[in-house]
A and B are shown apart, each in its own frame.
Chain A
Amino acid sequence: MDVFIQLVVSGLLLGGLYAVIGVGLNLIFGIVRVINFAHGELLMIGMYLTYLMAGQWGIHPYISAVPLIVLFFALGAAIQRFLIQPLLDSDPHVQIFATVGLSTALMNLALLVFGADLRSIDAPLVREGFSVGPVRVVFGQVAMFVVAVALVAGLHLFMQRTYLGRAIRATAQHRMAARLMGVNVNRVYIISFGLGAACVGLAAALLTPMYSVFPTIGTYFVLTAFVIVVLGGMGSLWGAFLGALIIGLVDSLSGYYIAPDLKEVVYFGIFLVLLVVRPTGLFGLGRGSE
């Protein structure tokens, strides 16, 4: 029983980590309606930057989160403005391949610059564990979970309370109608992509002290993030959060009870069944087979 409780707690905390990545992907997917295949590579670049800042200047990764959020907002906005916006009215094939091309180029650029070696940093406190009753948790994971909850709650308030947030939701529901109501749709898209990318910057800073960095680490996380987005439903913030918790639980439990190398098979299996049976996701409003 203790093992089970430990697995559930670890799974939920892992879900917090996935949530920060998944929420960013879902913002872009739900609003701009483009799947950002380069999302994982943005994460990878953020992790290398965190690694460099820690190594060169001794900056604690949690502090480097601040410049990374700003930088990645700008990066995401630039991707939207110069890569996606010219293709908004093209075939979906072309949009997919624009981000696939970006993903391939960034991944291999990292391979050229840093090589395939694993790199990691040691940040004070982050990997220290402590006990809560029968359960042991790692400080970095708890921090990640708290940040995930704060992020989702903050974005939720932003979407509900501010004019910009309402404009974003309106655009997500109907691009033309929002435009007719005077919303600058292109600006909304640029901001949304920026916000999605900024989430990745935040995730990268939190992740680096716990995982090693290598050029293809993005693929690992982004495939999981796709599962979360489809599970939670396109464009639903809390859906993405719950989807992330579910995947965290599945990851932790199936890794222990089935086989560590088959846990991804389990959640990709869930993903496929869900795509076929309920493409709107568990909590979503969007349509998978429109």
Chain B
Amino acid sequence: MTVQANGTSAAPGAGAPPRPLARLTDPRFYVSVAALSLFLLVPLGIGQPFFTHIVITICTYAALATAWNIVGGFTGQLSLGHTIFYGIGAYTAALLAIHYNVTPWIGMFAGAAIAAVVGVAISYPCFRLRGPFFALSTIAFLEVTRLLALHEKAWTGGAAGLIVPLRLGWEWMIFRDRVPSLIIAFGLLVLTLLVSVAIRNSRMGSYLDAVREREDAAQAMGINTVMMKIWAVVISAALTAMIGTFHAMYVTFVEPAQMFSLPFAVQIAMFALIGGVGTVAGPLTGTLLVVPLTEMARVWLGAGATGLHGFVYGVVLIAVVLLLPHGIVGAVGERVAHWVDGLPGGRRRRPEPPLPALPPAYVRSPQGRTIGEPILRAHGLTKRFGGLLATNNVSVELRRGEVLGIIGPNGAGKTTLFNLLSGFLAPNDGTVEVIGPDGAVLRPRQPHQFAAAGVGRTFQIVQPFGQLSVLENIMVGAFRVHPKVDEAKALAMQIAGMVGLAEERDTLARNLTIGGLKRLEVARVLAMKPRILLLDEVMAGQSRADVERSIAMINAIRESGVSIIAIEHVMHAIMSISDRVLVINSGAPLLEGTPQEVVDDPRVIEAYLGKEYTHAHAH
């Protein structure tokens, strides 16, 4: 199964619990429904067109901010050019209605499709840019789009814009009364929220977290990180374009300066940031705070005060950034959730639903100790970094059920070899073959392809997903085997117990000690149930007792049939777990043999300590 296919199938409702009735009585559900329905009921009750107009504005902006949050928050790619998609939705529907009499209900989806394609085209080359550079590139794309739209007067209307023909009725999405527009705006808000919830509570949400936190580690977990980001952009762009279509029909006018506006793009992101980036409720909360605030200020100071709303936005944003860096939801969200969970039917009032029972992930078997046929073959691996030959013609063969230890002095090229064996580096010369369970010879290239072929690795310099809890970290790995959330959780619990992290399961990974982080590295990769395990100095920094426990655990894992390659400096550990030891020095294999043969060889002592030492020792 590829990650690409998972991305699509995982999105809608993958996290739904098995009993629908339990969901309805959960206050998190009924409180949300009640709160959201106020957006319809209050304006209908008040019945004042201006008030209804403000609620429509809030729904539209909140929906835009929620759609933005899928890329800007969940994926962590700060887009300040999202109005490109808004404008595409607006222009597509308007042009189709003007020239071809096509209803905006169809134009909406046409715009969404075009926005999705444009989104992929402009974000694909920019994904390797981080932080401010990605933001700058989105601004540049937006400016280019706006200037081109202004230039192409023939079909965009240029600076003068285009007026959407005033054909009333549901078919044309244009109404004399404001209520039908309110219903559509509300529907779009609910749609974006549902999509956000579905992503958040699914494997895709976990994968996006992993991609945002650490791309390398995410790839090692088997995530096709580029595809994951592309899916996020596609979903976000399509939703944004649909909202653009509605808004164009609501204001019945499209012009480049408004549709592809940079200040508006910044505002959308601003709402999400004020409310809480990366949370489902944040963008709505931010909009709900800021838009009424500016409307009130406008009433107090009179309509003549142009620039007032922008001034309020800016000041609120600075205040939030300095005082509540995680936004409003980040600051009070947990307290609200705690209170809601205490309501009748809430999570605090009923036992946690049991996780599905899974068979133990690693079962010792008598065959586990027998060494079988080759499972991984690397031939003639060579890697140059400029003039430095980091790996020189190294060949490695690992057999089923075997533990191969790799030792060598610092800078010998051990970690480079691991990077070659897991796809993080492409060799200048040589091949890596993985033999599949059915005997087929696989030649993976990208890290996520190695993971799919059953190769799991840890990193010597730990790569935790710092903002996720220990359990969520392990679940990222577990999703490889169990796409369903509760099953992945059950497996993650099991693995946390195995490596001794059960008690810290709700701790944020960035708060773990170095020993805990090393164990988390192992736990995450074990949750992937790899057939081949590459362990890079997992015992460094562990206490003596923990080293003994790790040795016992590695022995148990190998006895369940997993083949292991381990780099280690803790000599007594490598001697006790390895069937075979490979010594690497200066990028080339020095010798290979049983642990005893290796420790007795003078060349090994020389490689580690230098010639003088061997000579002094010999005499």
Binding site for B on A (CB under 8 A): 34-35, 83, 86-87, 90-94, 96-98, 100-112, 115-116, 215, 219, 223, 226-227, 230, 259, 261-262, 264-265, 268-269, 271-272, 275-276, 279, 288-290
- The answer to whether B308 and A112 have CB atoms under 8 Å apart is yes
**Residues of chain B with a CB closer than 8 A to A116's CB:** 306
Report the Cα distance A99→B112, complex, angstroms. 32
CB of A172 to closest CB in B, whole Å: 15
A interface secondary structure, majority = helix
Binding site for A on B (CB under 8 A): 72, 76, 78, 80, 125-126, 128-133, 135-137, 139-141, 143-144, 147-148, 150-151, 262-263, 266, 269-270, 273, 277, 305-311, 313-318, 321-322, 325
Having A106-B314, A275-B126, one finds 16 other A-B pairs with CB under 8 Å, namely A94-B321, A96-B132, A97-B317, A98-B318, A100-B270, A101-B313, A104-B263, A104-B311, A109-B311, A111-B311, A112-B307, A116-B306, A271-B140, A272-B137, A276-B126, A289-B130
CB of B103 to closest CB in A, whole Å: 33
Report the Cα distance A87→B321, complex, angstroms. 8
- The answer to whether B126 and A93 have CB atoms under 8 Å apart is no
**Residues of chain A with a CB closer than 8 A to B310's CB:** 104-105, 107-108, 111
Contact of B322 among A98, A100, A261 (CB under 8 A): A98
Between A92, A97, A227, the greatest number of chain B beta carbons within 10 A of the residue's beta carbon is seen for A97
**Residues of chain A with a CB closer than 8 A to B72's CB:** 93
- The answer to whether B311 and A108 have CB atoms under 8 Å apart is yes
Closest to B308 in A: A112
**Residues of chain A with a CB closer than 8 A to B76's CB:** 93
**Given A226-B136, A276-B125: A100 in contact with B131 (beta carbons within 8 A):** no
CB of B326 to closest CB in A, whole Å: 9
Closest 9 CB pairs of A and B: A105-B314, A111-B307, A108-B310, A101-B317, A104-B314, A92-B131, A108-B307, A108-B311, A101-B318
Contact of A102 among B135, B316, B318 (CB under 8 A): B318
- The answer to whether A112 and B137 have CB atoms under 8 Å apart is no
- The answer to whether B306 and A93 have CB atoms under 8 Å apart is no
**Residues of chain B with a CB closer than 8 A to A107's CB:** 307, 310, 314
Closest to A223 in B: B143
Report the Cα distance A115→B125, complex, angstroms. 40
Closest to A86 in B: B322
Closest to B150 in A: A261
**Residues of chain A with a CB closer than 8 A to B78's CB:** 92-93, 96
* A to B CB contacts below 8 Å, 7 in the list: A93-B78, A96-B78, A98-B321, A98-B322, A101-B318, A109-B307, A269-B144
Report the Cα distance A226→B143, complex, angstroms. 13
**Residues of chain B with a CB closer than 8 A to A259's CB:** 151
**Residues of chain A with a CB closer than 8 A to B80's CB:** 100
**Residues of chain A with a CB closer than 8 A to B306's CB:** 111-112, 115-116
Report the Cα distance A219→B316, complex, angstroms. 21
Closest to B269 in A: A97
CB of B192 to closest CB in A, whole Å: 20
- The answer to whether B132 and A92 have CB atoms under 8 Å apart is yes
- The answer to whether B318 and A103 have CB atoms under 8 Å apart is no
**Residues of chain B with a CB closer than 8 A to A230's CB:** 133, 136
- The answer to whether A290 and B314 have CB atoms under 8 Å apart is no
**Residues of chain B with a CB closer than 8 A to A115's CB:** 306
CB of B1 to closest CB in A, whole Å: 30
- The answer to whether B314 and A103 have CB atoms under 8 Å apart is yes
- The answer to whether B147 and A262 have CB atoms under 8 Å apart is yes
Between A94, A215, A262, the greatest number of chain B beta carbons within 10 A of the residue's beta carbon is seen for A94
- The answer to whether A279 and B129 have CB atoms under 8 Å apart is yes
Report the Cα distance A195→B132, complex, angstroms. 21
Report the Cα distance A94→B320, complex, angstroms. 10
Report the Cα distance A187→B140, complex, angstroms. 33
- The answer to whether B150 and A97 have CB atoms under 8 Å apart is no
**Residues of chain B with a CB closer than 8 A to A87's CB:** 321-322, 325
**Residues of chain B with a CB closer than 8 A to A226's CB:** 136, 139-140
